[in-house]
Structure 1
Amino acid sequence: MRGKVNIINTGDDLERSDLSIDRVVEMATISVRYDDAPYPDNYDHSLKEGDDGYIEPVWRFEEEIEQSVLDRFGISRISI
């Protein structure tokens, strides 16, 4: 089965598509992982679990809008 595929690379492409700005923002939203563990200044980040001195990461995930995607479509800065 073949579907209709439109490639959207510019603001002009977006105008000709049936995508809303809300949908583009949804597609440009990514989950970013941050490590909030307290590491000493000289911590060796190449240490693996089980190594002496290894500190377990403390992951925090946040949704962020990838502004470069919006810029490509000529959409002004939007924040969640």
Structure 2
Amino acid sequence: MRGQAKIINSPADKKVAGVTKEQIIKMATIQVRYDDAIYPDDYDHQTMKPGDVGYIEPIYRTETEIDQAVLDRFGVTL
């Protein structure tokens, strides 16, 4: 497999590598996890564990998003 990897860091690299706009968008598509639970301002996320008095269970949701920084790096617009 040596010599088959393509590292793409710029629009010039994208042109040489021959990747399409659709491939760049696919590579830039990520899953982002959000916590929708409501916490008090003084809630200590670092030390609170399940079972502790005052522990608040996270309410996670996942969204599919396109990382705009990746698109910007390669000069791709939607």
TM range (shorter): 0.7 to 0.9
Tell me the alpha carbon deviations over residues 47-78 of structure 1, each in whole angstroms, 9 at most, x when there is no partner: 111111001000000011111111111112x3
Provide the aligned C-alpha RMSD in A.
Answer: 1.6
Gaps of 5+ in 2: none
Deviation of 1:36 (Å): 0.7
Distance 2:3 2:14 in 1: 19
1:11 is matched by which residue type in structure 2?
P
Deviates more, 1:36-45 or 1:18-27: 36-45
Task: Please say if 1:59 is aligned against 2:28.
Answer: no
How far apart in 1 are the matches of 2:5 and 2:69? Answer: 22
Partner Cα separation in structure 1 for residue 28 and residue 72 of structure 2:
11
List, as ranges, runs of 4+ consecutive aligned residues in structure 1 with deviation greater than 4 Å: none
**TM-score, normalised relative to structure 2:** 0.84
Give structure 1 stretches of 5+ with no counterpart: none
Question: Which one-letter code corresponds to 2:44 in the other structure?
Answer: D
* Superposition deviation, residue 5 in structure 1: 1.7
Overall identity of the aligned pairs, in %: 55
How many pairs align?
77
Instruction: Give 3-state SS (helix, strand or coil) of 1:33's partner.
Output: strand
- In structure 2, what residue type is equivalent to 1:20? T
Structure 1 Cα separation of the partners of residues 52 and 74 of structure 2: 47
